Amino acid sequence: MEGERPYLSASGAPLSLRRRQHSASCRELAVRCPRLQLRSLSAATSAVWLAAYGLFALCQNSMVLSAAIFLTLAGLIIYLHFVKIDQESLLVIGSLGIQVTSSYASGKESTTFIEMSRVKDVVINEAVHMQKVIYYLCILLQDPQDPEGVSEVVPLFQSSKPRLDCLIEVYKSCQEILDQRKTAPQSS
């Protein structure tokens, strides 16, 4: 099923969730984060340049102004390439595994693949985070030797932090795929 719906993040920013079904056992869910606002960019740049101009008025050294321009440019590039995440997506392939992709604003993409034998379940967990209690989706990993215990927890959608309504949609989609591996014959 295709479609984009509007949702909210934990801090109130608008998000959109896009679901695509590639086949009966393969689904892709992508959460797009809000773009970099022009007003916050202008506010940060003006603040840095005002501070630099104030410093220049104090010490009369023109290097301060050039350093401020260079810092603003370098800071923006580093922010776009390492910090600002544009879209986080989850690709669930029933017989193969789960692939988590984060794409940054500069175009960089970082992916992680977890094979299906290590995946115990995908659940919505609640935890205390920065003086708030938030719901977040996470993959529970199991040790192949110990199928009862949870060896690791991988939180998903860390920078977009969608709210519970969006998480329930993603959870239901994932559970439909994960249920298939119980009904399908086990192949070792």
Partner 1 sequence: NSPAPLPERAIYGFALFLGSWFGFILYLIWAYVPETWLFSLGLTYWPQKYWAVALPAYLLVAVGIGYVLLFGINMMSTAPLNSTRTITDNYAKKQQHKKFQEEAIPALRDVPISEVNRMFFLPEK
Closest CA to 181 of 125, 137, 115: 115
4 vs 143, beta carbon nearer partner 1:
143
Report the nearest approach of partner 1 to the CB of residue 178 (Å): 10
Q: CB pairs under 8 A, 24+ apart, for 34-37?
A: 34/9, 35/86, 35/105, 36/80, 36/84, 36/105
Binding mask 103-142 for partner 1 (x = CB under 8 A): -----------------xx-xxx-xxx------x-x-x--
Instruction: State both tokens at 53.
Output: 């101009």
Total residues found in the chain within this entry = 188
Instruction: Looking at residues 140 to 179 of the shown chain, list those that interact with partner 1 (rule: CB under 8 A).
Output: 140, 149-155, 158, 168, 171-172, 175
Report the nearest approach of partner 1 to the CB of residue 182 (Å): 12
The footprint of partner 1 (CB under 8 A) covers: 120-121, 123-125, 127-129, 136, 138, 140, 149-155, 158, 168, 171-172, 175
